[in-house]
Structure formats: structure tokens, C-alpha cells
Structure 1
């Protein structure tokens, strides 16, 4: 099947030149009674002669339909990350476990996903991108069913690990396929729609999860993936190409072991740093090993003939710069999504669904802005949408510094929506500009790096914010300890007065709220400075209308 050619597509060049590139393999246009053209050497990591044996298929299909299938899969896999966090307290009560134990439901998923993502590009090459996507969708739906049926904490952790394996494959394969089926001059609009799965899903998660947890049953946060998975799988079988597959590439085992173990160690150390102590031996060993393992991975990938991931993509500054900016945005997004609900529920006593409704406007703003941002990219490039968007994010983050328990909910919703507009405007142009700077043969590995950066930067950013918040709160409690009345507890004990005990409780609650608000304000100032620095990097992004498509992308 072939995508309908755009009217402004560039004409084909010489008769013997390739008609297009699909999955890094050269496909020539069939010509009757003419000798077969000389085949050019395949791109690195692509088996020779794989796609050239079959002439270009006939018939046309709208690439937008295939894009919608990919968006559905991405939405399902990313939504699961944020929606589960809302149900953690309820699951803790049902399973009868401690807060530290229940946190492994999220930790186990992150660790397993970090291990599988580096191998996703190889799996797509080995199985075929379309087939790998379908298998991952089915696997994710099955894993979701098992999680919904979990009977205790151990079974839930085991099923979350099984769910994370296909959950790590979906974003890498989906992004690679998007780049191969969408004409280059429409990538911005396509990425704007694709971004609904990356940014809109975690923003809408607290609202949907809050309603299910508060009014229905927490198990539905997993079962809701089943109909999406079934419909998405059927649509993928009908509309998605496979892009070949069956390439018996040698698996880079040393590279996989170093990057998988390195990411595992880093993520585990960051997740447990607050509980184990940031200067404790286990955390220091994990972080040190993680850094050394990742450095070893780079050395291995530069030497082996068939690398698991081509680290030479980092030699392209536009791509490397885009990853830095994506890391800054992801860290800030997930940090705010974590601490704002915590403040609303702990300090203000809001329920899960009420909190989700307050966060809903920012999700709706992203849903509107992101497709528009993609169209803007197609017209003027990545630089100015990214710069303007990051300026808005920095300004919105600065406004959050004065957040207190007395801040009107309408004002908070407006600030979050304003900040979300900046994220929606900047995120997809940055990602699209980075990927577009690479040759098609390197998109597979670049997609894996993109997913690794998004996931790891969220974890690293949240861990850094937690460490800063903890230090600030400890200092805040110490500074205010001398201001508390020293005879409050004694008077309550001596007189047995209920009013005295109530007064002590009120004072402690006020102190907790004040310390949290002050610490959160300091955290927002640091995040503002970091985002402002990212604006300078955004000025280095490519500008101008992207080059027109080299012709229709052909879907096998």
C-alpha cells in the first residue's frame, strides 16, 4: 500500500535512483523490460537485498489512519504510568502493606521498562515493525488483565513487570513507524497528533484514575486497557505495514547487558535514594555502577560491527540538543504532576477525583495546542515554537512559586493551563526537529534513545526534586522548631484538655503546610532557572520550513 503523494512533493530525480526509503532499505521503482539497477550498499544495520526483491506495492492508503492507530497504542501505554499512581493508596489498603512496599508497583514497572527499551529497535528489525507493534499491543493488554486480577502485592509486582516489557516496546516501534510512513514535510502535524499519547495521556490520567478509584473500583484502571488494546490490535492488523522483518541480525549481547544493567542500577538508586539515604553505600554503589556501565556501553557500541544502538547519532548536534530539551521538559512536567496533586490532597484535603478535575484544564489545553504546534513546525521549523513555548513554561513555573494552601483553585487551574500551553507548543517541534536531522537509517536507534531519555529524565527529575524538597523541608522544620510553644504538650498532659490537644494538632498542620509551601516555592524557582537555561539551547534548534518530501512514503 502506498500513501497518497502530496501535491507539493518533490519530483523524482534520475530513473535509476531509489523511489523511496522504507525502514532503511532501498526500494526501486519497477520498469518493464529494463535491467535491474545496481543496488547501493545498505545502510548500517540493514540486511542487504531484503526489500529490493519485491516491487513497490500498488494501491494507496491514507497515512493519517495508520497514525491514529499508533496514537491509540501510545496513549494506552503512557496513560498507564500516570493513572496507576492515583490508585496506590487504595491498593496499599487492600493489600495491607507499607508505603515503601507498595511503591514497588511503580518501581518494578520503571525498572523492567528501562531494561527492555534498548532492545526494542532490534526486536522491530527482527520481527518487522508492524508485527512487533501488534505483539506488543496484545502483550500489554494481557499484562493489564493480569494486573487487574492480582490478589496480593507480590502477584501485582510480577504482573507489572510482564506488562512493562511490551510497554517498553510500543513507544520505540511506534515512533520509528511514524517517521517511515509520514511524508517528511508533514512530520510536524503528525508528531503533534502523536504527542497526545506522550503528553496528554499523563495529564488526563489523574482525572480518569481519580474517578475510577473514587467511584468505581481501582482494578478498572488496568481493565480499561483491554478494549483499547483489542481495537488497536485489530486496526494495526488492517492498516499498519510490517516493513519487512526476519532480518537475522546478530544480537549485541555485551551492549545490551551494559546499558540494561546500567539503566537498572541508575533507576533503582534514584527510586530508593530517599528511603535508603542518598549517601548510603547501596545507593552510591548503584549510581556509580550505573554511570560506569553506561560509559562502557558507549565504548562497546563504537567498536562492534552491529551495535544494538548507534551512539553516533549523538554526533548530530540538532538531535542531541533536542534530547537535552526533552529531558528538561519531561522532568518539569512529571515533577509538577507529582507534587501539585500531593499538595491538594494532603494540605487541602481534596479527593482523588476532585484533584483530577482541577488538573483537567491543562490536559485539554495540551490536546488543543499540540496539533497546532505540529502545523506551525511544518511552516517555520522547530526554533521559534520551542523558544516561545519554553518561555511560557518558565513563566508559568515561576508563577507557581507563590502557591499556598490559600491559593484559589481557579487561579491554580489557570496557571497550570498556561504552563501546559507552553509544553504543548514546545515539545513536539523539539522532538520532530531532532529526529528530522538524522538519516532514515538511524531513526530506529534514535527512537529508542528518545524513549530512554523521556522515561529516565522523568525518574531522575522527580528523584532530584524529592531530594531537594526533603532537604528544604528538614531545614524548614528545624528553623521553625524554636518558634513553637514549649509548654503545649505539657499543658495537654497536665490538664487533659481536649482543646489543648486540638490546638497542638492545628499548629502542627499549619507548620506542615507552611514548610511544604516554602519548599515547593524554592523548587519552582530552581525549575524556572533550569527552563530558562533551556531557552538558550532552543535558540540553536534549526529554523525555517522543513524540506519537502522526497515523494510518497510507501507502506509495505
Structure 2
């Protein structure tokens, strides 16, 4: 994307009047919420889709895999497209495209058509999260960034948490196409609202497209995500898996070399010169790995190990979503008051303890325990996530916010895939070893030979099949508990990194929300800031798009 030096005019990019940024922020939240919700709500529906369209369990996984692969390839394009056609226009077009492709997914008649429509849906689905953060930094005053990011975080963290509940309810009362149709009106209404509340400024430049950079990063992400998704089916030591990992890594290394040499990089690597930003990306990656582990393995155990329905599982996990709703805005206010370090450290400590409690997972875990453990952990995640992301992006110059948002999304996408892939390898190995070890010790005559066997016999479980089924559930619980043990270690280790985040209110201490401009000679002589200059007709496109006029409901 074309990088433009920051100037005094760029500090006037927020609405001048009080709360005129609130309505545009709501539009951004709704769009982000719909996109992130789509991922988890589709995962809940996959068994129903498999049954209705008659696909195998292995083939139906491509509904999620194809979407993630396309998403990883599209994310790097978002910044360039924003510069090329304008952020506001791109946001509206992406919402319309997301609505249309979602409806197409609901109308799919077989698995191949559904996979194709999911790939098309991933194009706007990858663009919207990147440009949403960039637009947020353009419309919100610096002193309100923390509060705004706290509200915006509802789409980042609350949507995955509420997905199982909403998906379970829809599947209980309707059919699986409803999970796609629900995006139609949301996207269209959001697009109309975007045109109503955001200024429409036409771009005046055409930034050059970094084709080589796109090819290298797109293939690198595609190869690594594909190997991570299919490694469990192909074998982690199989040639296709190893070749994809090797070529993907080499392609990403080539991308780094290219981006450091060209004038207009697709994804600016200079954002990583800021340790605050780099540290924030590392912390977000750790939080996303733990969040995805909990969101994936806990509902899986509740349904496979304890026989919960999808709706029942969602209702049990509803307090987690409610805790996120309450804590996200509070976390934003805490950032505005104290900076990132205090809420991040406290939040990570709470999240670590909440994940530690999940290590007590067993076939006898009660609904109250699920609610308490996940809600407590959600409080910690909500308190830490947005202050961490806000501190990282605020450490960058305004013109690099888009690149920072892009790298944030790439990090979240890759860490989620690699994290679940790594946990999948661990789970498979643990289950096979524990099943083999405990099966060899099963002896109905000696009820103490296997943990839990005497209890099973006392409860009337008779025959080797019943004993083996009980053993499988016990092993499943122990394996997932070990996953949460690893997540606990990762989250606990992140506390040390959180101590390196900036401390103090953003506008009072060394980490301002946005760099303050140097006073001009006119300002020094009069003591008053000069009136902002109007952009010329032939001026560069990026400052025009990134310095919008005050937003109002009827402004165009």
C-alpha cells in the first residue's frame, strides 16, 4: 500500500463534535460481528450439513477448510484495495458481497457448490476485519480509542462465544441454510448504513499493485494453512504435508525479502520495528490459541463425551458470552484510564486461572462448573484482549494502522490454524497411547486395574463394550484436560510479556493514542492552531480517504 507521511492535517481525522463517531462505530461493530460469527456458527452446523447433503465426514470438513484457506489469501489484499477504491466504498461493497455470498451458501444444492460459495464468501470475509480497524482509527478521537476498541471487541471475541448458542437454537428450530440466510439482511442493512454515515471520498491515485509480494504471501499462507488443516488426514510426516510446510515457509521468507526492498509493499513489515506493536501481536496470538482451544474442545467434549445437544451446549456456554459483553466496554475504559499494562496483566492472570480450572475436566463435570470456569476465563480474556490490541496499533503512525491491522488478522488466522493443528496432533497421540495402555489393563475381575472402572461397574455398566465406552470417555476428558494444561502454560507465560506494555493513560504518559503533530510556525506565533487546509483536487488518495470530514447521519 502507498505510505504517506503523517502531517498535521491527519490529526484532525476524528469528528470534531462529541459523539458523532458513535453511529459509524456501531456500523463497524455489526459488520465485524457478522463476519466473525459466521465461522463458529458454521462449525456447529457441519454435522447437520453432512447428514442432509450425504457427504462423508472427511469431505464435509472442506466447508470450513476452503473458507479458511481463501480467507488467509485475501487478508493481505485488504490494505491495497482500501487505498485503490476508498475505505468507505470498500466496506459497503464488502458488506453487500458478504450478504449475497451468504445467501448463495444457504441455497447450495450439494457439497461442491457449497464449498465454491464458501470460497466466494471468504473474499469479503477477509477484507472486512482489516479495514474495520483502519476505519475505526480514522473516525474516533484519540482520547476515546480505548473505549471504542472495547466496544469493537464485541465482534472479535463475543461473536465466537455466542456462536454455539445461536447456532444451536437455529438448528433446533430451523434447518442449516438459516445460519447463512441470517447474514443477508445484516449485510445489506449495514451497507446502507455505511453509505449514510460515512463520507464518500473518491480516491485520486492508483497505488501500484505488488504482484510478486501477493503471490509469495498468498501461496505461503495457503500452503501452511492447508498443511495444518489436512495434516491429520494425510499424516504429519507424509510427503504432501512436509512439502507444503517447506514450500510455504520458503515462500513467506521470500515475501519478507521482497517487501523490504520495494517502494510500495503489500503488507508493510516496518510495523514490526515497534516493539510495542510486535509485543501486542505475540500476546494476541497467545490469547487466540487459548480461545480457539476452549471454543473447539470444550463443546466437542460436552457433545461427544456427555451427550449434550448443540442447543444445550450453547446455553451452558452462554454465561461466557455474557461475561464478554459486560467486560469488553469496561476493558476499554480501563485502557483510557490506566493504559494497557494494568488491565492486560490482570486479565491474563485471570485467564490463566480460568484455563487452569478447565484442567479438572471429567465425565462428571457439571453445568455449573462449565459456566463458572468459562465465564471467569472470559472476564480475563475480555480485560486483556482489547487493551493489548489498542496499545499495539496506537504505537504505530496513523498511515501504518492499515498494515498493523492486516498483520494482526494474519497472525490471528495462522495462529488459530497452527494452534488447533498442534493440539490435534497432541490429542491423537495422547488418545492412542492412553487407550492402548488402559485397555491392556482392563480386567472386570480386578475393578481397581483401571481408574474409574469400579465406579462404572457400580453404576451397572456391564460387558466389555460398556467398559470400553466408559474408558473412551475418561481418556477423552483426560486428553482435553491436558490441552488446557498447555493453554494454561502459554497464557501464564504471556503475563511476563504483558509487563512490557506501555503504562499510564494514553494521553498523559509515553504512549499516546496517536502521535501529536509538531506545531506550525503560525501556531507558535498566534497560540492557535491553523485551520485545516482543504485537499486539492489532485492530492494523494490516502490522505483524502483517511482524513474524513465530520461524520453525520446525512453526510455524503
Q: TM-score band, normalised by the shorter chain?
A: 0.7 to 0.9
1:277 alignment partner, one of 210, 216, 235 = 235
Deviations 1:124-170 (A, max 9, x none): 00010000000000000000000000000000000000000010000
Which residue does the alignment assign to 2:483?
Answer: 523
Question: Which aligned pairs between 1:232-381 and structure 2 lie closer than 5 A?
Answer: 232-242=190-200, 244-381=202-339
How many angstroms does 1:408 deviate by?
1.2
Name the CA distance, whole Å, in 1 between partners of 2:461 and 2:26. Answer: 59
Select which of 448, 464, 469 maps to 1:509.
469
What is the CA–CA distance in structure 1 between the aligned matches of 2:302 and 2:430, rounded to whole Å?
Answer: 19
What's the offset of the Cα at 1:246? 4.5
1:486, 1:287 → 2: CA distance? Answer: 47
Contact 1:22–1:243 (CA under 8 A) maintained in structure 2: no
Change (3 A) 1:283 1:457: same
Distance 2:222 2:95 in 1: 24
Asked if 2 retains the 8 angstrom alpha-carbon contact of 1:129 and 1:245, the reply is: no
Distance, in Å, in 2 between the alignment partners of 1:509 and 1:22 is 65
Moved more, 60-69 or 456-465: 60-69
Report the Cα distance in structure 2 between the residues aligned to 1:430 and 1:86, rounded to whole angstroms.
29
Does residue 143 (structure 1) correspond to residue 136 (structure 2)? The answer is no
1:5-24 equivalence runs, <5 A:
18-21=8-11
For 1:143 and 1:86, the matched residues in 2 are separated by 19
Q: 2:118 aligned with 1:160, yes or no? A: yes
When residues 103 and 241 of structure 1 are mapped into structure 2, their CA distance, relative to the original with a 3 A threshold, is same
Report the CA distance shift for 1:22/1:275 in structure 2 as closer, same or farther (over 3 A). farther
In 1, the alpha carbon distance for the partners of 2:466 and 2:292 equals 31
Q: Aligned match of 1:389 in 339, 347, 360? A: 347
CA drift of 1:241 comes to 2.9
Separation in 2 of the partners of 1:419 and 1:441? Answer: 35
Match of 1:77 among 32, 35, 54: 35
CA–CA distance in 2 between the matches of 1:510 and 1:246? 67
1:58, CA displacement in angstroms? 9.7
Aligned partners of 1:431, 1:463: CA distance in 2, in Å?
Answer: 25
Q: Distance in 1 between matches of 2:382 and 2:291?
A: 11
The alignment status of 1:546 with 2:506, answered yes or no, reads yes
- Residue of structure 1 in register with 2:26 after alignment: 68
Cα distance, 1:431 vs structure 2: 0.1
Shift of 1:481: 2.0
More deviation, 66-75/453-462:
453-462
Structure 2: how far apart are the matches of 1:173 and 1:441? 13
Relative to structure 1, is the Cα distance of residues 58 and 321 closer, same or farther in structure 2, using a 3 angstrom cutoff? closer
Counterpart mapping for 1:460-539 below 5 A:
460-485=418-443, 503-539=463-499
CA deviations 1:211-268 (Å, max 9, x no partner) are: 1112211110000011111211111000023454252111000000000000000000
On the 8 A contact 2:15/2:141 being kept in 1, the answer is no
Q: 2:151 aligns with which of 168, 180, 193?
A: 193
Count of matched residue positions in the alignment of Structure 1 and Structure 2: 497
Task: Give per-residue Cα distances to partners, 1:359-380, cap 9 Å, x unaligned.
Answer: 1100000011001000100011
CA 1:59/1:368 → structure 2, altered by over 3 Å: closer, same or farther? closer
Q: TM-score, normalised by structure 1?
A: 0.86
Q: Which runs of 5+ in 1 are unaligned?
A: 1-16, 24-55, 488-499
1:181–1:376 CA distance, 2 compared to 1 (3 A): same
Measured in 1, the distance between the counterparts of 2:199 and 2:341 equals: 32
Could you report, residue by residue, the CA deviation over 1:292-339 in whole angstroms, capped at 9, with x for unpaired residues?
A: 111111100000111111101111100000000000001110111011
1:438 corresponds to 2:428: no
**Distance between the aligned counterparts of 1:515 and 1:59, measured in 2?**
60
Cα offset, 1:485, TM superposition: 4.2
Query: What is the aligned-residue RMSD (CA, Å)?
Result: 2.1
Is the Cα contact below 8 Å between 1:200 and 1:366 reproduced in 2?
Answer: yes
Question: How far, CA to CA, are the matches of 2:49 and 2:466 in structure 1?
Answer: 29
Query: How much does 1:539 deviate?
Result: 0.4
The alpha-carbon deviation at position 524 of structure 1 amounts to 1.3
What CA deviation, in whole Å up to 9, does each residue of 1:183-205 have, x standing for no partner? 11111000000000000000000
Query: Aligned partners of 2:438 and 2:181: how far apart in 1?
Result: 47
**How much has 1:529 moved relative to structure 2?**
0.8
Match of 2:260, SS state, is: helix
* 8 Å CA contact retained: 1:191, 1:432: yes
Counterpart of 2:369 in structure 1 is 411
Distance of 1:242 and 1:190 partners within structure 2: 22
Structure 2 unaligned runs (5+)?
1-6, 446-459, 517-528, 533-545, 550-556
Per-residue deviation, 1:502: 6.2
Tell me if structure 2 keeps the 8 A contact 1:125–1:246.
Answer: no
Distance apart, 1:501 and its partner CA: 11
TM-score, L = length of structure 2: 0.86
70, 76, 94: which one pairs with 1:112? 70
How far does residue 61 in structure 1 lie from its aligned partner after superposition? 7.0
